[in-house]
Structure 1
Amino acid sequence: MPANRRPTADFSVSLPGLLMVLCLLLAGPAVHAEMRLAENTPTQDLYGQVDFLADPQGTSSLADVMRNDAPFHTSLTRRDLSFGYIPGVIWLRLPLLSEAKHTRTWRLELSYASLDEVRLYDVGADGIRQSRSGDTVPYAQRSVGHRNPVFDIVLQPGERRTLYLRVDSRGSMTLSGTLMSLRDFEQHSQIGYLVHAIYFGVLIALGLYNLLLFLALRERPFLSYVSFMFAFALSVLSLNGLGAQYLWSQAAPWSNRMLPVSLTLAALLSVVFARSFLDTRQWLPRWDKGLLVLCAAIAAAVLATIVLPVQRALQLMSLTGLSATLTLLLTSFVCVGYRVPGARLFALAWLMLLSGAVLLALRNFALIPSNFLTLYSMQIGSGLEMILLSFALAARFNELKRQREAALQLNEQVLAKRVTERTQALEHANLRLSELAMQDPLTGLANRTALQQYLEQALARSSRRNELLAVMLIDLDGFKPINDQHGHAFGDQVLAEVARRMRQYVRDVDLPARLGGDEFVVVCENVQSADAAQDLARRLLEGLDTPMYLEGRAVRVGASIGVALTQGHEDATDLIRLADSAMYQAKAQGRNRVCLAQP
């Protein structure tokens, strides 16, 4: 709250000033409707009470506008006192009559802080009092220390005075204002400063919070958000006059240019923030290129607002801000369709800001009335937008965190699956290697090593169960001539066919094996008797004796089979030796037969 100070107004009570006033009054003073001010008169709105005169060239003097034929118009002919962007100067005239019993001080306030210069000519019987205010007037030289143009009006009991306000501004000519008692003004001013303090308190809290999040998380969208908020806060400070009051009070000539520069810069940073927040490079590559072009255009507009005339700069500011907001709103709607994290809250936030920006732009162009809602629409919309964007950042971060955790879990599951598959593959490979180590590569039957292990285990089981076990040793008859006549490759095919027939004619529980060359062994457990063992051998012999048809050739091999029986009392080597002896007996008896070994 600024100090309640009243710089001494310029009371021109010299003799030439009095003569000028008397001459103007004698020339035929116009009779205007007076605003009557009593002890308890409430706050008076200037609309409907003042008359206005447009001076497009800005050349009219006070004497010109005080003439009886000055072309003033009643404000009732307009919708309000918002004139939009117009060239030149606007004069306001307000006749006053004090009906108070004591001397009273009133305060006249124009509610738009961005007016460049406002001069007050307070004309009465005692002469002309001059004072000025506006955002291009250094704060120490203003009539009343306040963010808005404010003037003191002192009225004696029964005194008549006429106020002439000369308003010169390159921005929007928004001249809505009020006349109120000193007490009412103090209450009104305190509420206004409190509202702005709350607004900027929220912005500062959100800015510091997100800055700390950036320092902790190093996520670029948080820094982009803080930068955008800082630039936007500068524009709001310039818009409501607090910047000229507290930050750049000595840079008055630049005060009215701070608004277009800072707000256009905020538009640029908003696009940068949107690209970072929505990650358009990943989700919308084509839109991202368009946003880059928009960034370049707005950057050029920022430079233009520095060199263009203020009125043109303000118009460029309004168009740039509106264009950026509409583009980002449309981009956010597209991102919602693509389910971009945080896009829904982002779209809602920009919808709030767009509403405020549209209302402010329309009011600046005098297309809608100027009232509390339209005057502070940017602050209201931006406040809601900043809060929603902060929520959107939190929601986006949580969603990305959830997605990263889900992706990590998925990667862990994929990795676990791959480890399991690799383990199974290794087990399978080891099993295969083990099988290959125990398998004859040509016939696929068990090799000598596998036969030895299996036979020892089978002998142990036979001994434990007191069951009869048979070992058949098979030697092919007539294989050597086939091998010599048709070659070793053909002989290998004959051996493979013999192995296939052995698997076909032995029992599923029996183990066929190859000792080497054309010698084979079959281990048969749980044989009921010696006759049963011989029957098994004869069935195998009949299967082997059947002609083979290989590569268009018919060949036939026989076999001599020796059978040794045991109940597990002999070892594997002795048992095979017994079967081998019986096999040689079969050969000696004429081949292609079965012979049972004698104990």
Structure 2
Amino acid sequence: MTDRRQPNLPPVALIASLGILGGVVVSGLSYQYSRNLIEQSQDRARVALARGLVVALSDDLVVHDYAGLESRLLQAMADESLASVLVTDTAGKVLVNLQRDRPQAEPALLFEPTQIPTPGKGQAAGSRTGDLTTRWTVIESGEPVGWLRLRTWSTQTDAVLDLLARQYLLLGALAAALLGTIFGSGYRQIRRQAEQREHRLQKEKAELERKALTDHLTGVYNRRGLELELQRTLENPERRRQAQLAICMIDLDDFKPVNDVYGHGIGDQLLQAVCRRLRGILRDGDLLARLGGDEFIVVFQHCGDAALALQLARRITTGLSTTFRIEDLQVRIGASVGVALDVDAPDDSLAALLQRADQVMYRAKETAKGHVALAPGPTTLESPRVSDLADRLPQ
């Protein structure tokens, strides 16, 4: 019966894979959600700082109190996260520019550059380059009077978030490698199971075919197996002409008394011994089959000559007349053989050839045990010379 179940990934590996994948996804979502919250909080803080400065600076700009501007910006630079504070008029002329190189350093007043481009209409107010975040805010007093530019460094929170991001990427890479290993191992196991199942099915199919075409007791062809083996030869006229088959029907002499006296167990062992001895007699390419009981068929190939066919058949009778040793018994039997040449009836079916060989074998058995007889062709006259060689029987 064919096993139609499909191989599946082992349950433990599947559960482990789903657990790892779920953990990575949940961790990633949690990290991203936390980062968004922190960034929003920091952004709101920067906006609040910019708005507070804008309100304080607007009056100083209107009255051109640049000393007041500088004083207010120095106070703002007390926040160590600020890298620089710059104020311009609406045309981009730099009015005050305070900057520090590192968070703990004292801010310095710069006089260069004197002019910088300011954001255009619709341009984003904030941007980030490396560790610096730049935010432009318009300064208004009823109408725009200038621009405030704040540059802030990444805070310790940003550093922690960056570290977490790298750790998360590393975790994701490790998880991906682990999942790849698990699924790769699972795939190889599934493939191995499929190959083993396919091999087993092919082996079972071959075994069923062998049993269907061979004799269960002796392991040689049965009649169906012999027919299939000879089918291509008999159906092709040219191949059949070159094969020159000689069909030998063999019936064992004195086999029934062995069964009656010693039992069927000894009889079965004797039949197996007969097959082994016949295999030793046959040439390469010759075929052996058992019809059932004590009847066998031998097919000689490249044996279109009557004299050669009779010589090979007599080797069978001589070989089977030698004593067989079965367990502690010495058993003697013989064999009668009827031979039909395919060249005498090249259009006959295998069944017709077997029938001719069977008929002449029984007529030979009635004449004398251990006899070899050659069947004449269905439309030919008996040849005295061949009859002398084979005791050829008349039709």
Give TM-score, length-normalised by structure 1: 0.37
Q: Which residue of 1 aligns with 2:299?
A: 523
- The 5 Å alignment of 1:182-201 reads 189-193=75-79, 195=81
Q: How many pairs were matched up?
A: 239
1:471 is paired with a residue whose SS is: strand
1:410 corresponds to 2:189: no
Gaps of 5+ in 1: 1-181, 199-378
Matches of 2:325 and 2:161, distance apart in 1: 90
**Match of 1:426?**
201
Residue in 2 that maps onto 1:584: 362
Return the alpha-carbon distance in structure 1 between the equivalents of residues 219 and 260 of structure 2.
Answer: 23
For 1:470, give the aligned amino acid: A
1:456·1:571 contact (CA, 8 Å) conserved in 2? Answer: no
Give runs of aligned pairs for residues 270-349 of structure 1, distance below 5 A.
none
**Pair 1:570-2:345 in alignment:** no
Sort the Cα spacing of 1:462 and 1:545 in 2 relative to 1 into closer, same or farther, 3 A: farther
Amino acid at match of 2:203: H
Pairwise CA distance, 1:411: 2.1
Secondary structure at the counterpart of residue 193 of structure 1:
coil
* Residue 585 (structure 1) shift: 3.1
Q: 542, 546, 555: which one pairs with 2:322?
A: 546
What is the CA-CA distance between 1:414 and the residue it aligns to? 2.5
Question: Using the alignment, how far apart are the partners of 2:173 and 2:78 within structure 1?
Answer: 37
Indicate conservation of the 8 Å contact 1:438/1:450, yes or no: yes
Distance 1:560 1:197, change over 3 A: farther
Alignment-mate amino acid for residue 374 of structure 2: L
Shift of 1:545: 2.0
Cα-to-partner distance string for 1:534-554 (whole Å, 9 max, x where unaligned): 222222223222221121111
CA distance in 2, matches of 1:535, 1:466: 21
Name the amino acid aligned to 2:306.
Answer: A
Counterpart in the other structure of 1:290: none
Q: Which letter does structure 1 place at the counterpart of 2:180?
A: E
Aligned partner of 2:390 in structure 1 is none
Compared with structure 1, are the counterparts of its residues 196 and 593 closer, same or farther at alpha carbon in structure 2 (3 Å cutoff)?
farther
Q: CA deviation at 1:477?
A: 0.6
Deviations along 1:503-549, one digit per CA (max 9) or x if unpaired, are: 22212312211111100001222224122222222222232222211
1:536 and 1:192, CA in 2 relative to 1: closer, same or farther beyond 3 A?
farther
Tell me which residue corresponds to 1:480: 256
Gap runs ≥5 in structure 2: 1-67, 85-154, 378-395
User: Which residue identity does 2:331 align to in structure 1?
Assistant: V
Deviation digits for residues 112-162 of structure 1, max 9, x if unmatched? Answer: xxxxxxxxxxxxxxxxxxxxxxxxxxxxxxxxxxxxxxxxxxxxxxxxxxx
Quote the Cα distance in structure 2 between the aligned partners of 1:429 and 1:196: 81
User: Residue 466 of structure 1: which of 238, 241, 250 is its match?
Assistant: 241
Matched residue SS, 1:508? coil
Distance 1:462 1:489, change over 3 A: farther
2:82 and 2:76 mapped to 1: Cα distance? 10
More off after superposition, 433-442 vs 464-473: 464-473
Q: Could you tell me whether the CA contact under 8 Å between 2:234 and 2:240 is conserved in 1?
A: no
Please report how far the alpha carbon of residue 576 of structure 1 lies from its aligned counterpart in structure 2 after TM superposition: 0.8
Q: Aligned in 2, Cα 1:484/1:189: closer, same or farther, shift over 3 Å?
A: farther
Shift of 1:465: 4.7
1:385: Cα distance to partner? 4.5
Superposition pairs of residues 34-53 of structure 1, within 5 angstroms: none
Q: Distance in 2 between matches of 1:197 and 1:403?
A: 43
Residue 461 of structure 1 deviates from its aligned partner by 4.1
Decide which of 276, 290, 299 is 1:514's aligned counterpart. Answer: 290
Per-residue deviation, 1:391: 0.3
Contact map agreement 1:462 1:525 (CA 8 A) in 2: no
Identical pairs, percent: 35
SS in 2 for 1:554: strand
Distance 1:444 1:197, change over 3 A: farther
Identify which of 213, 217, 222 aligns with 1:438: 213
**Stretch moving more, 427-436 or 458-467:** 458-467
In 2: Cα distance, 1:476 partner to 1:597 partner: 19
Q: CA separation of 1:533/1:191 partners in 2, compared to 1, >3 Å: closer, same or farther? A: farther
CA contact (8 A) 2:255 2:333 kept: yes
Asked whether the 8 Å contact 1:544–1:557 carries over to 2, the reply is yes
Change (3 A) 1:191 1:529: farther
Show the 5 A alignment for 1:18-57.
none
Q: Does 1:501 align with 2:281?
A: no
Q: CA deviation at 1:463?
A: 5.1
Residue 507 of structure 1 aligns to which amino acid in structure 2? R
Determine the structure 1 residue equivalent to 2:38: none
Aligned residue for 1:441, secondary structure, equals coil
The SS at the match of 1:442 is coil
Q: Secondary structure at the match of 1:440?
A: coil
Match of 1:559 in 2: 335
CA distance in 1, matches of 2:209, 2:79: 89
Say yes or no: does 1:489 pair with 2:265.
Answer: yes
- For residue 79 of structure 2, give the secondary structure of its aligned residue in structure 1: helix
How many angstroms does 1:455 deviate by? 3.8
